[in-house]
Structure 1
């Protein structure tokens, strides 16, 4: 259950907010689609996160605000964006995300960043052909490209709401180049490896 009042009146107000956000993203050319949301009925399966409502979602993609408005006319569907078309996303944990965000700020070119209630950060970029090998094989990074999707604010989870760490209007809705963000994430990953090695050396010295 979502840790808030999931009453009919709250559900209606939240649906309106989700609908407005979906329409706004569509005006900027982002292919959004409706996703599942936390169930409220007793005895239903535990909800593990949003997935597209329609099995043929890839064939329904559109940026038509009027059609998108219809999708959110009845239910407070989660707000998802299809990746691999206009936007890609690189998913990391909080600690790696914080290091990468600091490095991006230092360059003066912050990327749009989404945070989920389950401790994941999503760095949004232009579409890429692949992920650099070091990131792809690290075990700490997940790339969302063609055929995938990610949740956008204010999608509800069972224990919170997806929110922006850095909003896209900070960049004037111009997505940063994927290779730039990939490079910064690689540097942040190297910092983590260096920190882990330092801790191991310190632990060995104290033994």
Structure 2
């Protein structure tokens, strides 16, 4: 999908799908929230992603699925999940995400992974107290914990739709331990650094 068609029929169909996904996630105990969408302001080229619709969103966490269903009645809201209570997310770019996903597959314990149309991957985990220094200081990793949120499929962006790279049911709806995923992401960073150093040595030898 290169450009999002914001016709009334498209929004109507998407609203139904978003509502169904939100209800399903709420039944699994995930703190879902309605978020803004580019459809509400399609002329704003500066739109940089969804934010919670309600200013008091932090007070609405853990709403019953019936209340969640009401939020989406008649509204094409995007789908957000609040982090820091049930789920955390670690956000990386595509290349680091692919490298970490390969390492996770090698362990036989894949984590739920979300991909956004703007080239970001989100690894969902249990809640953590802190992010390891290796990740926190890398400049390539963003941690979504208390007070934050992330978009979930099928949230629309201006030029695409958020989608699952690894669905939660692959993990049986059990989130992987944050420490384990953090360790894998740190290994992926180390691999990237080693590859970059090797490339620099090759370039230097050719130049010499």
TM-score of Structure 1 vs Structure 2, range by shorter chain: over 0.9
How far is the alpha carbon of 1:42 from its aligned partner? Answer: 6.7
Contact kept in structure 1, 2:114 and 2:122, CA below 8 Å: yes
Relative to structure 1, is the Cα distance of residues 42 and 162 closer, same or farther in structure 2, using a 3 angstrom cutoff?
closer
- Write out per-residue CA displacement over residues 93-147 of structure 1, whole angstroms, 9 at most, x where no aligned residue: 0000000000000000000000000000000000000000010000000000000
Partner secondary structure for residue 81 of structure 2 = strand
Report the equivalent of 1:177. Answer: 177
Return structure 1 stretches of 4+ with deviation > 4 angstroms.
40-45
How far is the alpha carbon of 1:10 from its aligned partner? Answer: 1.3
Relative to structure 1, is the Cα distance of residues 189 and 18 closer, same or farther in structure 2, using a 3 angstrom cutoff?
same
Count residues in correspondence. 206
Pairing 1:49–2:53 present:
no
Unpaired stretches in structure 1, ≥5 consecutive residues: none
* TM-score (normalised: structure 2): 0.96
Report the equivalent of 2:22. Answer: 22
- Write out per-residue CA displacement over residues 68-109 of structure 1, whole angstroms, 9 at most, x where no aligned residue: 001000211010000000000000000000000000000000
Report the equivalent of 2:111. Answer: 111
How far is the alpha carbon of 1:60 from its aligned partner? Answer: 1.4
Contact kept in structure 2, 1:29 and 1:63, CA below 8 Å: no
Contact kept in structure 2, 1:18 and 1:154, CA below 8 Å: yes
RMSD of aligned Cα (Å)? 1.3
Report the equivalent of 1:13. Answer: 13
Contact kept in structure 2, 1:30 and 1:63, CA below 8 Å: no
Contact kept in structure 2, 1:22 and 1:79, CA below 8 Å: yes
Unpaired stretches in structure 2, ≥5 consecutive residues: none
